[in-house]
Amino acid sequence: MIPKYYEFLNSVKILSGDKALENIPYELKQFNASKPIILSDAMLQKIGTVDIVIKAIGDQLDTSTVFVDIPPDSSYKVVNAIREVYTQNNCDSIIAIGGGSVIDTAKGVRMLISQQAEDIKQLEGSEILKKGIKAPFVVVPTTSGTGSEATLVAVISNPDEGTKKEFVSYELLPDAAVLDVRMTETLPPKITASTGMDALCHALEAYTCLQKNPVSDAYAISAMRLIGEYLEKAVDKPKDKKARIAMANASLLAGIAFSNSMVGLVHAIGHAAGGVSHIPHGNAMAILLPHVMEFNMPKCEKLYGDVLLYLFGPEVYASAPAQERGRLCVEKIRQMLHRFNEKCGLPTRLRDDKVKEIDLLPIAEKAINDGAIVVNPVGATKEDVLEILKKAY
Amino acid sequence: MKDNKKFKRAIARFVLFLLGRGLKTAYKLDNEVREEFKAFPDNTFIRMNIAPYGPALAFSASGDRLCVYGGKKAKEVKPFIEIEFKNIDGALQVLLARIGIAEAYCQHRMLVYGDLYKTLGIIRIMNKVENYLFPGFIAKKLLVKRPEKEVSSLRFYLKVLTNI
């Protein structure tokens, strides 16, 4: 179905596969940049991931400015502090190596530099940033889930208010995303499963929510096909390079899809659950997905039938009558989650992670203020969200 | 062509005037709407603007009163959150009930200056007001889910018309 009107943009250059990291200097030199600030977190530095990237860059760029004090929840203070480091060291570009938090922090820094702003607070909003000063920006994701390397969104905490703030702007899109198996092959099976489910939620919600369009559908479908074929392989055999690079691509494709068609209720509740109970985002996605699919079933049954084909292949799809495919899709996803639970301990209920029963109401209250709820195909009130949470608990 | 835009702005000004009355009425009659306004600091303005030349509507809650500004006054306030339509034609899609706020958001028809999480409260308030103002068959088309009415539309209309 063609929407009455839609917009789509993905300007991120994709470097994927063998020796992709070694091409970072070439990409930055295209922008006449030679002194990047390298952003990552302490853990990735400790396990040597940052060093792999620096070694791949070699002496072609000045890699002396490295900042790894980025907390798991990126914050205004860190973003403002990094901007100072960037200026003091005369950096001219940004390389972010990490997961969602590092990438979102880097997006915040890029925003400050390009908009010549002192404080990120001045830039809160949606689609309000004008083209600013060039600050070439390369992202190297170290998980296959967030898709943040290709999205126009950043979520950054404001510690003074104790809240998370969302920024939406095409100015947040990186210039290049570098997908290299060396970045993800050491991920343990549980994190692989959890982040993979995050990527699946991105693709599935992009494909079913109100802002869907033919171009975002193409990306979402490609992502779901890759996830269907490779996620379990990557969990079973972490060193399977083909599965790893396929999942990195799936995550990126899903990121492009949802950057242009947004995510829905699974994410609205998942963001809130993360904020209230600190449950890992991918775990929340995995637990909530089948319950939200059931909630959305009255409007999405046919689309979920399509998802059955993309995720589980033509034989499973053809084995079910058309009117049963949507429900079979939910059932098949549940079965997949139970396999992940048995193989690597991915939780299947909120109570098995960090969520307490007393948290459910605050999560519901927070979820209805998440932008993702606006584009969910079925309208959800606080009471609806609470009902879903109780089922998922 | 230029006059056509002027005419469109005149229509937008009139609909924003009605919307302002609707907001005032909803603030008086609907508890949920009043609750939603509590998320915003007292005496801070929320503004809906149409780029590049307006018109605009600004409103601010304080105690029992919702203060609503149109025209020049609306342009002069410093808003806490501003929703700005990119152009008059996109704005009229919403103001003339061709599409709902959710669809307008999906179509990138507007920008938001300020806290995006708090903006969701404004969208819920607008949905409530639209549900009172528009006949059922239109409201059903505009809103993903129709909110509960706390008073009848007839009572709501009378209040909007009399502004008492």
Judge whether residue A1 has pLDDT over 80.
no
Question: Among B143, B144, B148, which would you mutate to test the A interface (most chain A Cβ atoms within 10 Å of its Cβ)?
Answer: B144
| Cross-chain residue pair A7–B111, CB shorter than 8 Å | no
| High-pLDDT (> 70) share of chain A, % | 100
Judge whether residue A109 has pLDDT over 80.
yes
pLDDT for A374 equals: 86
CATH label of the domain that carries residue B45: 3.30.1050.10
User: Strand (E) positions, A135-197?
Assistant: 137-141, 153-158, 163-168, 176-179
| Cross-chain residue pair B112–A165, CB shorter than 8 Å | no
Quote the DSSP letter at residue B113.
E
Question: Among A120, A122, A126, which would you mutate to test the B interface (most chain B Cβ atoms within 10 Å of its Cβ)?
Answer: A126
In a domain, B97, yes or no: yes
In a domain, B64, yes or no: yes
In a domain, B151, yes or no: yes
pLDDT for B149 equals: 82
Is residue A117 less than 8 Å (CB to CB) from chain B? no
CB pairs < 8 Å spanning A and B = 75
User: CB count, 10 Å around CB of A286?
Assistant: 29
Q: Which residues of A320-338 are buried (b: 16+ CB within 10 A; e: fewer)?
A: beeeebbbbbbebbeebbe
Q: How confident is the model at residue A339 (pLDDT cuts 50, 70, 90)?
A: very high
Report the chain B residue with the minimal C-alpha distance to residue A170.
Answer: B108
Chain B residues whose CB is inside 8 A of the A369 CB are: 117-118, 120-121
In a domain, B163, yes or no: no
pLDDT digits (tens, 9 = 90+) for A175-207: 999 999 999 989 999 999 999 999 999 999 999
Distance CA B41, CA A261 (A): 32
Write the CA distances from A195 to A99, A124, A175, A366, A378, integer angstroms: 10, 27, 23, 23, 25
Report the chain B residue with the minimal C-alpha distance to residue A120.
Answer: B114
Judge whether residue A130 has pLDDT over 90.
no
Distance CA A84, CA A356 (A): 40
The minimal CB distance from B111 to the residues A125, A167, A380 is found for A125
| Cross-chain residue pair B115–A124, CB shorter than 8 Å | yes
Total number of domains constituting chain B:
1
Q: Give the residue-averaged pLDDT of A290-319.
A: 96
In a domain, B164, yes or no: no
- Give B81 to chain A, closest Cα distance, Å: 9
In a domain, B34, yes or no: yes
Chain A residues whose CB is inside 8 A of the B123 CB are: 374
Is residue A160 less than 8 Å (CB to CB) from chain B? no
Give me the residues of A, 250-269, that contact B with CB < 8 A: 262
- Structure-block tokens of residue A105: 């922090």
ipTM of the modeled complex: 0.84
The minimal CB distance from A211 to the residues B106, B112, B119 is found for B106
User: Strand (E) positions, B17-72?
Assistant: 45-50, 56-62, 65-69
pLDDT for B2 equals: 57
pLDDT digits (tens, 9 = 90+) for B106-133: 889 999 998 888 888 898 898 888 888 8
Q: How confident is the model at residue B164 (pLDDT cuts 50, 70, 90)?
A: low
The minimal CB distance from A124 to the residues B107, B114, B121 is found for B114
Judge whether residue A65 has pLDDT over 60.
yes
Residues of B with CB under 8 A from a CB of A: 99, 101-103, 105-108, 111-121, 123-124, 143-147
Q: Using alpha carbons only, what angle is made at residue A66 by residues A61 and A67, rounded to the nearest 5 degrees?
A: 150
Q: Give the residue-averaged pLDDT of A14-18.
A: 96
Distance of CA A366 to the CA centre of its chain: 20
The minimal CB distance from B145 to the residues A165, A210, A379 is found for A379
Domain residues for the domain of B142 are: 2-158
pLDDT for B54 equals: 80
In a domain, B73, yes or no: yes
Q: Which residues contact A335 (CB under 8 A, 6 or more apart)?
A: none
Question: For chain A, how big is the Rg over CA atoms in Å?
Answer: 20
- Give A127 to chain B, closest Cα distance, Å: 5
| Cross-chain residue pair B145–A165, CB shorter than 8 Å | no
| Cross-chain residue pair B120–A369, CB shorter than 8 Å | yes
Domains defined for chain A, CATH in brackets:
13-182 (3.40.50.1970), 186-392 (1.20.1090.10)
Distance CA A149, CA A130 (A): 20
Distance CA B142, CA B103 (A): 8
pLDDT digits (tens, 9 = 90+) for B133-142: 888 888 888 8
User: CB count, 10 Å around CB of A381?
Assistant: 15
Chain B residues whose CB is inside 8 A of the A370 CB are: 117, 120
In a domain, B91, yes or no: yes
Chain A residues whose CB is inside 8 A of the B143 CB are: 379
User: CB count, 10 Å around CB of A117?
Assistant: 16
